[in-house]
Structure 1
Amino acid sequence: MSDAPVLKAVILAGGRGTRLAPFTTVLPKPLVPVGGVPILETVLRQLSFHGFQETVLAVGYLSSLIRAYLGEAEISRRMRIRYHEEQKPLGTAGPLASVDGFDDDFLFMNGDLLTTLDYAAMMRFHREQNAALSIAVVDRHMQIELGVLGINAASEVVSYTEKPSHSYAASMGIYACSPSIRRYIEPGVPLDVPTLVLRLIAAGEKVVGFRSECFWLDMGNPTDYARATEAFEQNRAAFLRDEVLA
């Protein structure tokens, strides 16, 4: 019998998704379809493909629709899906304090991401690093379409850079976690991930970044939703690898 731990995940699926209105006036954001498949179903199928056996959905807004859809979906027969109902919004980290059954390292993520991230590789990296928290990182390059001046205290221009480009290590909204991080989260009290990360760092806990060159897009607005749909339809096999093996 294998001694490998059961891979588990927590997915945030309770937000109202107001920036994606009017879609989210009748559907919870995780059920908004990308290429004909609800984004939440795509995420769950990806996790299953990478060996995850159990997922807890932190739900709230229109949660009955999520339960009804997944109750009939084939993915519910491939992995155990549990629900954690939020009575009030608890932010992006607050729900972790009261989700039970997580005594080993686990994955935690937003439920509205389109990505090709290798979740299993991230979990291996997290354990190898012996970290409290590992953050999936994507490098983003931002072009400033202006001439940028350096001006000193005497109002003298000391530099001039035409349309500079800056690079940033950005969070994907996907985290590998040690169960010990729950010591820094108070049950029932709203908490966001940036505040949790700063608490961990201040306490001397190890927080690391897992860099990946994967495709990643946060569907936060109609423009990104359209981009996600186009990317999915152009290369469906990259996002739903279980279909390739079927």
Structure 2
Amino acid sequence: MRAIILAGGKGTRLLPYTTILPKPLMPVNQQSIVEIVIRQLKHNGFDHITLALGHLAHLVKAVLGNGNHLDVKIDYSLEDVPLGTSGPLSLIPDLDDTFLVMNGDILSDLDFKDMLQFHRERQAVATIAVHRRKVHIDYGVLHRKDYRLLKYEEKPTIDYEVSTGIYIFQREIINYIHPGVYLDFPELVKMLIHNERPVMCYPFDGIWFDLGRVEDFQYVQERIDALKDAIPFLSPNGHRSNPDLYVPASTYREEQPYEA
């Protein structure tokens, strides 16, 4: 199976950490983010990995090479100009009928095999892994019609689902991407929905960090000893450093920095 890792951005959200290193090479527990992701993908049957690169591509290629040390085949797709999060897919030849796409800065315990099975069972053209988040509002929220107050909420909590940046696609989606044209995933998904193509949401309530955010990156660094027992391959020398010490994902969902 083939997986595409999007790793071409400049990592501006992670400054000043990414002043020298590209975001996929940021260190987490003595290895780079992207190496953890690749080990997880390999464990789930994805043995052909294509990295879509742009900014500081030569450094990523120098570290990962052809993938022999990770027991996978690694190749690269280079964009001369930024093409967004969907545009780079148009540059990749010989895509499988079904393939996975994910951001290169995600740290998670998501079961890629289960998501793939979910996608196939529902005959989806696109499946998005979604994660529930909560945002606490520190103000009184007013609901009104014209000038009349209808409802007052004191410091409410908003509960919603967000895209994790992990997708499974059918090759059909390439028909909606014009070569060399900038296109982000939200626009691609909107086109699929407009054309009544089946787009599914895969609910995921496990551990998920967007390491492109300074808050998440710092959170993980500060709690690495606990997280390495819960997230596959966060420990450089094994699947989990100690499976007997596995901590339920719910422990971390309640602590994540979104919930201020």
Same fold by TM (over 0.5)?
A: yes
Shift in Å at residue 75 of structure 1?
4.2
Q: Distance in 1 between matches of 2:166 and 2:136?
A: 25
Partner residue of 1:243? 238
Match of 1:157 among 133, 138, 149: 149
User: Are positions 1:105 and 2:98 aligned together?
Assistant: yes
Paired residues in the alignment total 238
Paired residue secondary structure (1:68): helix
Q: CA deviation at 1:51?
A: 1.2
Aligned to 1:80: 73
Cα–Cα, structure 1 residues 83 and 24, in superposed 2: closer, same or farther, change >3 Å? Answer: same
- 1:62 and 2:47 matched: no
The alignment partner of 1:190 has SS state of coil
Distance 1:75-1:47 versus aligned 2 partners, 3 A rule: farther
Query: Percent same amino acid at aligned positions?
Result: 42
| Runs of 5+ consecutive residues of structure 1 not aligned to the other structure | 1-6
Q: Determine if contact 1:42/1:239 at 8 Å carries over to the other structure.
A: no
Residue 203 (structure 1) aligned to one of 183, 192, 195 = 195
Paired residue secondary structure (2:65): helix
Q: 1:115 to 1:231 in 2, by over 3 A?
A: farther
Which of 11, 18, 22 is 1:17 aligned to? Answer: 11
Q: Which residue of 2 is the match for residue 187 of structure 1?
A: 179
Deviation per residue, 1:57-109 (Å, 9 max, x gap):
00111111111111287644x11111001111100000111211213100001
Structure 1 residue 225: Cα displacement: 0.9
Structure 2's unaligned 5+ residue stretches are 242-260
2:36 match: secondary structure: helix
The 2-side partners of 1:51 and 1:129 are apart by 20
8 Å contact 1:138–1:213 — kept in the other structure? yes
- Secondary structure of 1:243 counterpart: coil
Normalization by structure 1: what TM-score? 0.91
TM-score under structure 2 normalisation? 0.87
Q: Matched residue of 1:239: which SS?
A: coil
Contact 2:105–2:210 (CA<8 Å) still a contact in 1?
A: yes
2:205 maps to 1:213: yes
Q: CA RMSD in A?
A: 1.8
SS at match of 1:238: coil
SS in 1 for 2:168: strand
Distance, in Å, in 2 between the alignment partners of 1:240 and 1:102 is 27
User: Relative contact order, CA 8 A, sep 6+: which one is greater?
Assistant: 1
The 2-side partners of 1:53 and 1:146 are apart by 49
Deviation at 1:118, TM superposition (A): 0.7
- 8 Å CA contact 2:33–2:104 kept in 1: the answer is yes
The question of whether the paired residues in 2 share the 8 Å contact of 1:134 and 1:175 is answered with yes
Q: Deviations for 1:99-123, whole angstroms, at most 9, x for unmatched residues? A: 1121310000100111111111111
Letter in 2 for 1:204: E
